[in-house]
Chains A and B, each alone.
Chain A
Amino acid sequence: MSRIKEKFADLAAKNQRALISYIMVGFPNEKATIAAVQGLVDGGADIIELGFPFSDPLADGPVIQNASTVSLENGTTISKYFEIVKKIRKVTDIPLVMMTYTNILYHAGYTRFIADAKKAGIDGFILPDMSVEESREYIQAAKDSTDTIFLISPNTSKDRIQKISEASTGFLYLVAVFGTTGAKAGIKSYTLDAIRNVKRQTRGKIPVGIGFGVSTPEDVRTYVKAGADAVIVGSAYLKLIEKTPKDRLRSKIAEFTRSLKKQTVL
């Protein structure tokens, strides 16, 4: 069983939903990344998404775009990223998901890249520009090794929800709003409908996580109440990292994480 699957099983037994926390590796530097991960673990995050920067992050809003640029300028390379993952793996067993764009994997070769990622300690991938139609080679390469987490949008048709949930392992990533990451539009009724709809259609076969523009404990509570199995917070973490002095980063991240995690306990 994958670490992600195990985590969801554990949480279900404890009557909890998952808090998935996203940070961009190398933003603003390696030290901050390690400190932030420690803070996430201290604060009780269930799964960590580790962003790998891409030069053209077209599904991301300004916060993650900026973090990508900074990370690349700081020299975050694939090998550097895997080194950091290995360091994290030495101190925690928390599930780690790599979030990046298709070209990074395609260019290296899916099979080789996924094998290297797995060896470093990555448990799954989120690729916002990988559509299910184009995913055959990617899924083949990840089979029995890492989870392939696909995205669903509030406007995704019934047939596609079926197709995408069949292609996904680990969890399904439901995009909360029409927009890029970090979009802030308040809670929309179409989002709550989408959660219920996707949950109904997938009938508990795969956990459903919700992300994009989720930034406060209230947001987390609302989505948990609507039936989400996991809530994903990203840009809000990057904003916090940006404004926190480095000696307080670990404790500040832990504090914020605790406030979010509390809302996932039923």
Chain B
Amino acid sequence: MKYPKDGRFGEFGGKYIPETLVPAIEELEENYLKFKNDSSFKKELDYYLRVYAGRPTPLYYAKNLSEKIGGAKIYLKREDLLHGGAHKINNTLGQAILAKRMNKKRIIAETGAGQHGVATAMACASLGMKSEVYMGYKDTIRQKLNVYRMNMLGSKVHPVKSGSMTLKDAINDAIRDWITNVETTYYLLGSAVGPHPYPVMVRDFQSVIGKEIKAQMKKINNKAPDCVIACVGGGSNAIGTFYPLVDTSAEIIGVEAAGHGLKSKMHSATLSAGSKGVLHGMMTYLLQDKEGQITETHSISAGLDYPGVGPEHSYYKDTKRIKYHSATDKEVIEAFLTLTRTEGIIPALESSHAIAEAMKVARKGKKSESIVVTLSGRGDKDVEEVQNYLDGHVKD
């Protein structure tokens, strides 16, 4: 789906928004369409991606991990090496440069694990703009290092104490702020979710991941990878990884957070266990009860703790081009420790979902096959959470 003019990926997507936001969304789309193919915009973004963020990121053959499993070769797309420690900077630089060209002086954002908030704060600091970040109160506790980083980067963090006090509530409050300050404010959304054109715009900014994978694998194997895997919360690193590869023969797998298990109700596996609905401006798969109330989610990783998913993923689920699997908290911790110990790479808990799936797929694969996993972020932010989990399990 190149550029969905009506904002729909099949039946998914659209613009379910309060009327006050319509002029802002129209202005955004108009400017995005104007600048996305503008050579000076592309040049500036490319410059920042290379020299500031550290692109291209390496594609690393995880030899120790692959040999330990004894199946297909596992390659890691090292988005964790980007400035800030996650893929989020690809999108925040793109949108912040766009916002600047739109003469917006005030930037707001939501964040789950804090990675998008940090990436927003960095992009804004480097481009000389003010930013404010909404973050669920629960997430400000479990990801407090990222709160400190945002503060130091000059961003104001608003802890959100409504609802489940996680990412979805942070988005609600960011939208409320936007409605209130619509004339001056740019909403820098962090995932491929929300009303059109956000899902397609965020995908385009993140597609640099998949484009590089394609070129790098061509160099290594002279063909596309046999399998590509990424974790899915809202789904921005995943859609950025997958989109440039959907027209190849690669098997594509998105991995959701199964938390305590899909039957436990303590999970965030929207595509695996959800139903269609409307939230945050889009029609997509959601976790909701029989009355259409959004249910509380759980994941050990704050970044995947979200009851919705990008509409393009919903489309690829229904068209069956992409498979969506899930990994439990327990599998994720195992994957986290395995990668850390075999390769000396500490992955984010979000990315560890993809690693867990890759280990399963590799086990069944042949040595001649190659799997690319997007390592969307580094795990420094998660070491306390993992330690707590391990301590808790020792006590059990």
B17 within 8 Å of A (CB atoms): yes
A165 within 8 Å of B (CB atoms): no
Residue contact B18 to A129, C-beta cutoff 8 Å: yes
Interface bits B249-292 vs A (CB < 8 Å: 1, else 0): 00000000000000000000000000111111101001010011
Take A78-B291, A131-B16, A152-B19 as given contacts and tell me if A58 and B183 are in contact as well, using a CB distance cutoff of 8 Å.
no
Take A56-B294, A107-B288 as given contacts and tell me if A102 and B180 are in contact as well, using a CB distance cutoff of 8 Å.
no
Q: Which of A80-124 contact B (CB under 8 A)?
A: 101-108
Residue contact B180 to A180, C-beta cutoff 8 Å: yes
Pick from B16, B23, B180, B293: contact of A134, CB below 8 A: B16
Q: Which of A35-91 contact B (CB under 8 A)?
A: 54-59, 61, 65, 69, 72, 77-78
Pick from A103, A104, A108, A151: contact of B18, CB below 8 A: A151
Docked complex Cα distance between A65 and B169 (Å): 11
Docked complex Cα distance between A24 and B378 (Å): 45
Pick from B180, B276, B293: contact of A55, CB below 8 A: B293
Stretch at the interface among B97-105, B171-179, B339-347: B171-179
Docked complex Cα distance between A55 and B278 (Å): 12
Docked complex Cα distance between A102 and B288 (Å): 13
Q: Which residues of A contact B180 (CB under 8 A)?
A: 178-180, 183
B20 within 8 Å of A (CB atoms): yes
Q: Which residues of B contact A155 (CB under 8 A)?
A: 20, 23, 182-183
- The total of interchain contacts (Cβ-Cβ below 8 angstroms) comes to 107
Pick from B14, B18, B168, B291: contact of A59, CB below 8 A: B18
A160 within 8 Å of B (CB atoms): yes
A232 within 8 Å of B (CB atoms): no
Docked complex Cα distance between A78 and B283 (Å): 21
A175 within 8 Å of B (CB atoms): yes
Closest Cβ neighbor of B168 among chain A residues: A56
Q: Which residues of B contact A69 (CB under 8 A)?
A: 162-163
Q: Which residues of B contact A78 (CB under 8 A)?
A: 291
Residue contact A134 to B15, C-beta cutoff 8 Å: yes
Pick from A65, A129, A150, A183: contact of B16, CB below 8 A: A129
Q: Which residues of A contact B275 (CB under 8 A)?
A: 107
Q: Which of A135-193 contact B (CB under 8 A)?
A: 150-153, 155-157, 160, 164, 175, 178-180, 183
Q: Which residues of B contact A59 (CB under 8 A)?
A: 18, 176, 179
Shortest CB distance A233–B (Å): 19
Docked complex Cα distance between A54 and B292 (Å): 8
A247 within 8 Å of B (CB atoms): no
Interface bits B1-43 vs A (CB < 8 Å: 1, else 0): 0000000000000111111101100000000000000000000
Chain B interface residue count, Cβ-Cβ cutoff 8 angstroms = 37
Q: Which residues of A contact B15 (CB under 8 A)?
A: 131, 133-134
Residue contact A56 to B18, C-beta cutoff 8 Å: no
B181 within 8 Å of A (CB atoms): yes
A130 within 8 Å of B (CB atoms): yes
Residue contact B293 to A151, C-beta cutoff 8 Å: no
Pick from A107, A156, A178: contact of B183, CB below 8 A: A178
A128 within 8 Å of B (CB atoms): yes
Q: Which residues of A contact B172 (CB under 8 A)?
A: 56-58
Shortest CB distance B138–A (Å): 16
Q: Which of B152-178 contact A (CB under 8 A)?
A: 162-163, 168-169, 171-172, 175-176
Residue contact A107 to B277, C-beta cutoff 8 Å: yes
A interface, over-half SS = loop
Q: Which residues of A contact B19 (CB under 8 A)?
A: 131, 150-153, 156, 160, 164, 175
Residue contact B293 to A129, C-beta cutoff 8 Å: no
Shortest CB distance A167–B (Å): 12
Chain A interface residue count, Cβ-Cβ cutoff 8 angstroms = 40
Q: Which residues of B contact A107 (CB under 8 A)?
A: 275, 277, 288, 291-292
Docked complex Cα distance between A221 and B317 (Å): 54
Q: Which residues of B contact A104 (CB under 8 A)?
A: 291-292
Task: Tell which of B19, B171, B283 has the most Cβ of chain A within 10 Å.
Answer: B19
Shortest CB distance B195–A (Å): 8
Residue contact B17 to A106, C-beta cutoff 8 Å: no
Shortest CB distance B101–A (Å): 21
Task: Tell which of B163, B171, B286, B293 has the most Cβ of chain A within 10 Å.
Answer: B293
Docked complex Cα distance between A61 and B175 (Å): 11
Q: Which residues of A contact B182 (CB under 8 A)?
A: 155, 178
Q: Which residues of B contact A72 (CB under 8 A)?
A: 293
Q: Which residues of A contact B276 (CB under 8 A)?
A: 106
Q: Which of A178-225 contact B (CB under 8 A)?
A: 178-180, 183
Task: Tell which of A102, A151, A175 has the most Cβ of chain B within 10 Å.
Answer: A102
Residue contact B176 to A61, C-beta cutoff 8 Å: yes
Residue contact A129 to B17, C-beta cutoff 8 Å: yes
Residue contact A130 to B292, C-beta cutoff 8 Å: no
Residue contact A106 to B20, C-beta cutoff 8 Å: no
Pick from A58, A156, A160: contact of B176, CB below 8 A: A58
Take A133-B14, A175-B20 as given contacts and tell me if A56 and B292 are in contact as well, using a CB distance cutoff of 8 Å.
no
Residue contact B23 to A156, C-beta cutoff 8 Å: yes
Task: Tell which of B175, B183, B286 has the most Cβ of chain A within 10 Å.
Answer: B175
Docked complex Cα distance between A164 and B18 (Å): 13
21 contacts between A and B (CB under 8 A): A55-B163, A56-B280, A56-B294, A58-B172, A77-B291, A103-B277, A106-B283, A106-B292, A107-B275, A107-B292, A129-B278, A130-B16, A131-B16, A151-B19, A153-B19, A155-B23, A175-B18, A178-B20, A178-B181, A179-B179, A180-B176
The 5 lowest CB-CB distance pairs between A and B, nearest first, are A107-B292, A153-B20, A179-B180, A103-B278, A55-B294
Chain B residues with a Cβ under 8 A of chain A: 14-20, 22-23, 162-163, 168-169, 171-172, 175-176, 179-183, 275-281, 283, 286, 288, 291-295
- Beyond the given pairs A134-B15, A178-B183, 13 more chain A to chain B contacts, judged by CB atoms under 8 angstroms and listed by A's residue number, are A55-B293, A56-B294, A59-B179, A72-B293, A78-B291, A101-B278, A103-B277, A103-B292, A105-B292, A108-B292, A131-B17, A134-B16, A157-B23
